[in-house]
Structure 1
Amino acid sequence: MPVQLQFSDFSGPRYVLQGLKLLLSPGLRLFVLLPLLINLALFAAMVYYSTQQFGLWLACLQATLPGWLDFLTYLLWPLFVILLILIIFFTFTLFANLIAAPFNGLLAEKAEVLIRGQDDFPPFSMRELIAMVPRTLGRELRKLMYFLPRALALLLLSLIPGLNLLAPPLWMLFGIWMMCVQYLDYPADNHKLSWRDMMAWLHQKRWKSLGFGASVYLALWIPGLNILMMPAAIVGATAFWVQEHHSLSVRP
């Protein structure tokens, strides 16, 4: 029986709540567990490495401050800390989704089946999972190509004295947008929507997409909840797709 999406005026944050609500549905539990275990293992490794290196990274960033502004060190220190945390967050999210990409695509498939109440996808098998690996990894690499030049520009901005004060809010805005791109791409890719058309669709749904991305981004900073957010965001993004794709119109 299909899950009823009873939202007369959908907004991005409510899709995230829908994802959390459906996360432990019987038809999804197995497909949630696999990316969740990958997420946990990578998160533990990233936290351990970051705590070991954090002091060194902080010293390197503070060294970019001109000598005549040394008196501002104590005022700028919190900004440097926020900047480092944002960079670590981006790195963790990037690698977690790259490693778990085939499982994430499969989770989006099964979530769509649950929401629609009909199954138009091939039955689950190891052959199906293996067949998804080249396509999903290729798509993740496309996202990486989109992410890296923009992240590099922000990183360079972070090293320019004075202008680096703008880096934390810009990183945050970029992070919110990347949450849209990252998670809404899974159901779009399952329907063979090209990267160009998917990005055009996201721009058409800009405010709802940003609302969804901001909700995921903020939830990822909440201890405990952040572990569940990768699979919850995939399910929520699939609910977004099911509700909104009928109004898709892309540029020729």
Structure 2
Amino acid sequence: MQVDIIVGARYLLAGYRLILRPGLRRFFVLPVIVNILLFSAFISLAVGQFDALLSWVLPGGDEWWVSVVRALLWVVFVVASLVVLVFTFTLAANLIAAPFNGFLAEKVAVHLAGTKVRGGNSSAVAEIIPSFLNELRKLSYFIAWAAPILVLAVIPGLNVLFPFIWILFAARSLAQEYLSYPLENDGMKFKEARQRLSEKPMLVLGFGLAVMAATMIPVVNFLVMPAAVAGATALWAGEWKGEKRMNGH
């Protein structure tokens, strides 16, 4: 079990190595641009709004306790952002970048199979509407599961379990999100993909935990989307399709 979690996490590192290879570098540019723009906008908006909220809630002046409360609330805000908002942001970013992520997964799969990767973004453009609709279906599935878990946060006694349950849920959801790209490229619908992924839950969880951790690291998180797509493609190829010799380990 522990070994599977570690193996799953290693595939994200393989993803970072893959996207930096000469034949694949040009295919992750658009997902990276989307990630940088959205991360920057998200951080700027969140920090600005929270600072305004603190100014409205807390009294003015230089009293020491006001500074202490403000500092503590900022700590709570940062932790909450990392645990909850980063997850929801990542799903939103994938909603926008879905066609390019699917295209990247296709090119990584070709690379792992040992054939030459050819250029062109025409297929990514053609998949914009279908990919967007598919991401909406996945998003509705994740929201349906997230809602009852979020309720735990406000139930006395049970709320102590919320951070642990949320982390496990978010990690698995992120793994399902990124693994869905190579599986869909192989002709699977999201429901069938979830069934296949349930065959090796610890591998999936390990990969998802690694993605979540990378999303919280400055600079590293700018590349996490394409790296996770590439790593998920390698994970699918290596652990389900038996193509480990080509997966970058």
Report TM bin, short chain: 0.7 to 0.9
The Cα of 1:234 is off from its aligned counterpart by 0.5
**Paired position in structure 1 for 2:149:** 154
Give the alignment's Cα RMSD to 1 decimal.
Answer: 2.8
Partner of 1:109: 106
Which of 49, 52, 63 aligns to 1:53? It is: 49
**1:132 corresponds to which residue?**
127
| Mapping 1:47-196, distance limit 5 Å | 47-55=43-51, 82-118=79-115, 125-196=120-191
One-letter identity of the residue aligned with 1:28: L
CA apart distance, 1:13:
1.6
Q: Within the alignment, does 1:27 sit opposite 2:41 as a pair?
A: no
- 2:32–2:226 CA contact under 8 A, matched in 1: yes
Describe the shift of the 1:126–1:114 C-alpha distance in structure 2 as closer, same or farther (beyond 3 A): closer
> What amino acid is the match of 1:200?
Q
Query: Are the equivalent residues in 2 in contact too, given 1:183–1:237 (CA < 8 A)?
Result: yes
Contact 1:32 1:231 in 2 (8 A): yes
Is the Cα–Cα contact under 8 Å of residues 83 and 168 in structure 1 kept in the other structure? no
CA distance in structure 2 between the partners assigned to 1:225 and 1:126 by the alignment = 25
CA deviation digits over 1:152-206, x for unaligned, max 9? Answer: 2222222334433322222211111112111100000111112222111111011
Distance 1:216-1:58 versus aligned 2 partners, 3 A rule:
farther
Aligned AA (1:228):
L
Distance verdict in 2 for CA 1:110–1:206, change over 3 Å: same
Matched residue pairs, number? 224
**Is the CA contact 1:176–1:210 (under 8 Å) kept in the aligned structure 2?**
yes
What is the TM-score when the length of structure 1 is the normalising length? 0.79
Query: Secondary structure of 1:100's match?
Result: helix
- The normalised TM-score by structure 2 is 0.80
- In structure 2, do the counterparts of structure 1 residues 202 and 234 end up closer, same or farther at CA, with 3 Å as the change threshold? same
| 1:70-92: CA deviation from partner (whole Å, max 9, x where unpaired) | xxx99x96667523432221221
Q: Residues 172 and 208 of structure 2 are in contact (CA less than 8 Å); yes or no, is this contact kept in structure 1?
A: yes
Rounded to whole Å, the distance in 2 between the matches of 1:173 and 1:161 is 21
Letter in 2 for 1:49: L
- What is aligned with 1:16? 12
Shift in Å, 1:124: 5.1
Aligned partner of 2:113: which letter? R
Q: Where in structure 2 are there 5+ consecutive unaligned residues?
A: 1-5, 56-68, 243-249
| CA drift at 1:238 | 0.6
Relative to structure 1, the CA distance from residue 46 to residue 192 in structure 2 (aligned partners, 3 Å threshold; closer, same or farther) is same
Runs of 4+ in 1 over 6 A off after TM superposition: 56-59
Q: 1:214–1:85: structure 2 CA closer, same or farther, 3 Å change rule? A: closer
Checking the alignment, whether the CA contact within 8 Å between 2:101 and 2:226 is kept in structure 1 is: yes
Task: Name structure 1 gaps, 5 residues minimum.
Answer: 1-9, 60-72, 248-252
Supply the AA of the counterpart residue of 1:112: A
AA of the residue aligned to 1:136: S
Q: CA offset at residue 129 of structure 1? A: 2.1
Output the CA distance in 2 between the equivalents of 1:82 and 1:111: 34
**Could you tell me how far apart the structure 2 residues matched to 1:225 and 1:80 are?**
21
- One-letter code of the match for 1:147? F
Amino acid at match of 2:192: D
